[in-house]
Structure 1
Amino acid sequence: MKIAVLKETAPGERRVAATPETVKKFVALGAELAVERDAGAAAAFADQGYADAGATIGDRASVVQGADIVLGVQGPDVASLTGAKPGAWIVAGLNPFGDRARVDAYAAAGFEALAMEFMPRITRAQSMDILSSQSNLAGYKAVLDAAAEYGRAFPMMMTAAGTVSAAKCFVMGVGVAGLQAIATARRLGAQVSATDVRSATKEQILSLGAKPIFVENVAGIEGEGSGGYATEMSPEYQKAQAELVSGHLAKQDIVITTALIPGRPAPRLISDAQLATMRPGSVVVDLAVEQGGNVEGAVAGEVVERHGVKIVGHRNVPSRLPADASALFSRNLFNFLSAFWDKDQGRPVLDAEIGDAIRLTKDGKVVNERLAG
């Protein structure tokens, strides 16, 4: 059983799909590990560390040659997989909705593509969930990015020269990223409030010491979709939410938006008109910018200014913390493969619950029901 670990080639991608820690664990299972030269360099993992953990180091062609499983952070191009075994598993974040052409190419080449972002949100798969591990870091980094752009201090400071007021931070969307953003802003000393369409998140917001901002008078709308994700809301709720948010935004210094709906463009949470009501010098960080953005005027990969408000739209935020992001991502992959490792066969054997959920292609066909049609 040969497992290949590739160097990422997507622009700005600094993460790696295995670390010396997880290589050592795979080797202990009986796998042969081959790591592409400098695969971990951008995340401060040297080739020698991989070699010491039991991997062989080589160029891409030699690493892929004869591979049974190919690990990646983002899915590799099919052209770079020449030499992998027929039916080899491609295990990575594959962006199935955003890059369907690549999924079709995997099918045509006979690979079995396993999309880690389709991992079901069930108890036994929590340690395999790349979306949660990477979103946690994104929420943390979003607050640090906001602090770097903000021209004032976060905490209240009482000095002989006078008092500095605490920054007011508003988090929109209280999933994994939003919860970490709340916690980080609180640690930095900000006054934090948060909102979400899911009423169940109120208790989580309060538990972190923040103030919940919720529509209270629209009955029967919970906003809870499958797997804990939010769903699109009714027009009545959207109107009430917009009115509530508009009044609150005008008083905020920092806003972090995190709202995503799987397979659909990110919902618009802040309009240009709402931005115009914010104080000059305020900062908005849009963590959904690569899926169309929660904020009108946000530009993927740029920090722009509108009405005196900075809108931060960094791409691939977890990759801005490459060492920790790689460590968590690689543990997700190891936890996944090791959980299904069959000692007698010397390879992982998936069950239907998880296998059917994440398998995109098999035997030359696209087989995932979420990609039907």
Structure 2
Amino acid sequence: MPTLLVTRESAAGETRVAVTPDTVRRYQSRGFAVKVEQGAGERSGFSDQAYAAAGAELVPPGLDSAWNEARVLPVVQAPPLKRLALLPEGALVVGLLNPHGNRALVDALNRSRLSAVAMELLPRISRAQSADALSSQANVAGYKAVLLAAAALDRYMPMLMTAAGTVQPARVVVLGAGVAGLQAVATARRLGAVVYVSDIRPAVKEQVESLGARFIEPPTQEEKPSESGGYARQASEAFLAAQRQQLADQLAQADIAICTAQVPGRQAPRLISDDMLEGMRPGSVVVDLAVAQGGNCAGSEPNTTVARHGVQVIGANDLPCTVPHHASALYARNVATLLESALKEGELVLDLEDQLIGDSLLVQDGSCRRDDIVPPNPPS
């Protein structure tokens, strides 16, 4: 019976947990013994008593012997690298490991002959949807981004008809129609705003309009960017420049801009320039969800609100951590679904023929499998 260890997350500001009491029961039904560090779920609203009632064994935080026995370590973010050395050879680490170019993590996994699945590398195929952690967390981020913007805005979101006159609805521009962008559209529409959406992929127009928003047709050019493997593909600089020019007029009329455009493993495209901010109405708000990847908006700073030309620019990274209970519940189900696909007759089997495992397996038994994600060290 493999032992699964649930640890307290150590990354600064991380409030989520990788396993909830509900998923403890799922793991036990599939043959896992579950140990939970005391306080692991406290910041996301899951008490030690709830874990114990679900059948988990509570252990003191950081207990070396618990790490020594763990065959599976589900995490939200990668644990301190020195702790990985406590895991037994062949143990599996699963989480949002920030794998792109993360040489230090891969080296630590290799030294201890561990395996690791990075949830960011999960293929965008139908069978993977229930394990898609990026999408579940982006949903939370898109929702919360609009609430942040509405709280910071100097006007109402919906149209109101009062004895003192009619208040026109706020105008929201969403940049990027991925999961976060579409959730931002849905949330802004529920609050009564008029919503416009800009995306480099013409194919998303139907989804945008189905939510009641208006799609801003991308600039015309010979080769339109689309998708690669279900993710947005990097657009050319010429295309992005044309798109920025098109956005300038839209932003000049906007009360809120929600920036969600990201490309995995690359800098986020800069879509809103300082000149475009200067053209926006004083008192308007920009929420930049791509700030951790360099930002879609000029001047955005992680976890900070800055004023530029009278516009509030909110650098909103790690928004799922501000809704930790539901973010954890969704993430824990994603991880459980993936691990269940690797459990064969009570044993954990990393079947490379299974696309879910084969594509997302970053390291196997101390050997990096994704040189395209983490290039090898140059020879000395």
Instruction: Give the shorter-chain TM-score range.
Output: over 0.9
What residue in structure 1 maps to residue 35 of structure 2?
A: 34
What residue in structure 2 maps to residue 105 of structure 1?
A: 108
**What SS does structure 2 have at the residue aligned with 1:3?**
strand
Question: Is the CA contact (8 Å cut-off) linking 2:219 and 2:246 kept in structure 1?
Answer: no
Quick one: distance in 1 between partners of 2:170 and 2:126?
37
Question: Is the CA contact (8 Å cut-off) linking 1:192 and 1:211 kept in structure 2?
Answer: yes
Question: Is the CA contact (8 Å cut-off) linking 1:155 and 1:165 kept in structure 2?
Answer: yes
Quick one: distance in 2 between partners of 1:342 and 1:144?
43
1:167-197 CA-partner distances (Å, limit 9, x unpaired): 0000000000000000000000000000100
Partner amino acid, structure 1, of 2:233: T
Question: Is the CA contact (8 Å cut-off) linking 1:4 and 1:70 kept in structure 2?
Answer: yes
Partner amino acid, structure 1, of 2:216: I
What residue in structure 1 maps to residue 351 of structure 2?
A: 350
Partner amino acid, structure 1, of 2:190: R
Over the matched positions of the two proteins, sequence identity in percent amounts to 46
TM alignment of 1:125-274, pairs within 5 A? 125-221=128-224, 223-274=225-276
Question: Is the CA contact (8 Å cut-off) linking 1:338 and 1:348 kept in structure 2?
Answer: no
Quick one: distance in 2 between partners of 1:238 and 1:349?
41
What residue in structure 1 maps to residue 22 of structure 2?
A: 21
**What SS does structure 2 have at the residue aligned with 1:9?**
coil
Quick one: distance in 1 between partners of 2:337 and 2:269?
32
Question: Is the CA contact (8 Å cut-off) linking 1:35 and 1:63 kept in structure 2?
Answer: no
Question: Is the CA contact (8 Å cut-off) linking 2:259 and 2:289 kept in structure 1?
Answer: yes
Quick one: distance in 2 between partners of 1:87 and 1:227?
30
Gaps of 5+ in 2: none
What TM-score does the superposition give when structure 2 sets the normalisation length?
Answer: 0.94
TM alignment of 1:266-345, pairs within 5 A? 266-343=268-345, 345=346
Relative to structure 1, the CA distance from residue 78 to residue 116 in structure 2 (aligned partners, 3 Å threshold; closer, same or farther) is same
Q: Is 1:4 paired with 2:10?
A: no
Quick one: distance in 2 between partners of 1:82 and 1:216?
52
Gaps of 5+ in 1: none
Question: Is the CA contact (8 Å cut-off) linking 2:145 and 2:316 kept in structure 1?
Answer: no
> In the TM superposition, what is the alpha-carbon distance from 1:282 to its structure 2 partner?
0.3
Return 233-242 or 285-294, whichever deviates more. 233-242
Partner amino acid, structure 1, of 2:45: A
What count of residue pairs does the alignment treat as equivalent? 371
> In the TM superposition, what is the alpha-carbon distance from 1:363 to its structure 2 partner?
3.1
Quick one: distance in 2 between partners of 1:179 and 1:95?
24
1:101-152 CA-partner distances (Å, limit 9, x unpaired): 1222111221111101100011111101100000011000000011111121
Quick one: distance in 2 between partners of 1:310 and 1:331?
36
Question: Is the CA contact (8 Å cut-off) linking 2:130 and 2:337 kept in structure 1?
Answer: yes
1:240-277 CA-partner distances (Å, limit 9, x unpaired): 21221011110000000001111111110100010000
Partner amino acid, structure 2, of 1:295: C
Quick one: distance in 2 between partners of 1:356 and 1:372?
18
What residue in structure 2 maps to residue 54 of structure 1?
A: 55
**What SS does structure 2 have at the residue aligned with 1:360?**
strand
**What SS does structure 2 have at the residue aligned with 1:310?**
strand
Quick one: distance in 2 between partners of 1:46 and 1:314?
28
Quick one: distance in 1 between partners of 2:151 and 2:66?
40
Relative to structure 1, the CA distance from residue 196 to residue 15 in structure 2 (aligned partners, 3 Å threshold; closer, same or farther) is same
Quick one: distance in 2 between partners of 1:331 and 1:313?
28
What TM-score does the superposition give when structure 1 sets the normalisation length?
Answer: 0.96
Alignment counterpart, residue 86 of structure 2, candidates 83, 87, 96: 83
> In the TM superposition, what is the alpha-carbon distance from 1:236 to its structure 2 partner?
3.8
> In the TM superposition, what is the alpha-carbon distance from 1:217 to its structure 2 partner?
2.9
> In the TM superposition, what is the alpha-carbon distance from 1:339 to its structure 2 partner?
2.1
Question: Is the CA contact (8 Å cut-off) linking 1:218 and 1:236 kept in structure 2?
Answer: no
Question: Is the CA contact (8 Å cut-off) linking 2:91 and 2:114 kept in structure 1?
Answer: yes
Question: Is the CA contact (8 Å cut-off) linking 1:356 and 1:368 kept in structure 2?
Answer: no
Relative to structure 1, the CA distance from residue 56 to residue 369 in structure 2 (aligned partners, 3 Å threshold; closer, same or farther) is same
Relative to structure 1, the CA distance from residue 283 to residue 346 in structure 2 (aligned partners, 3 Å threshold; closer, same or farther) is same
> In the TM superposition, what is the alpha-carbon distance from 1:357 to its structure 2 partner?
1.1
Quick one: distance in 2 between partners of 1:329 and 1:292?
25
Q: Which aligned segments of 4 or more residues in structure 1 are displaced greater than 6 angstroms?
A: none
What residue in structure 2 maps to residue 69 of structure 1?
A: 72
Quick one: distance in 2 between partners of 1:215 and 1:347?
47
Relative to structure 1, the CA distance from residue 235 to residue 292 in structure 2 (aligned partners, 3 Å threshold; closer, same or farther) is closer
> In the TM superposition, what is the alpha-carbon distance from 1:216 to its structure 2 partner?
4.8
Quick one: distance in 1 between partners of 2:154 and 2:102?
38
Question: Is the CA contact (8 Å cut-off) linking 1:342 and 1:349 kept in structure 2?
Answer: no
> In the TM superposition, what is the alpha-carbon distance from 1:235 to its structure 2 partner?
4.0
> In the TM superposition, what is the alpha-carbon distance from 1:82 to its structure 2 partner?
4.4
What residue in structure 2 maps to residue 95 of structure 1?
A: 98
Question: Is the CA contact (8 Å cut-off) linking 1:337 and 1:348 kept in structure 2?
Answer: no
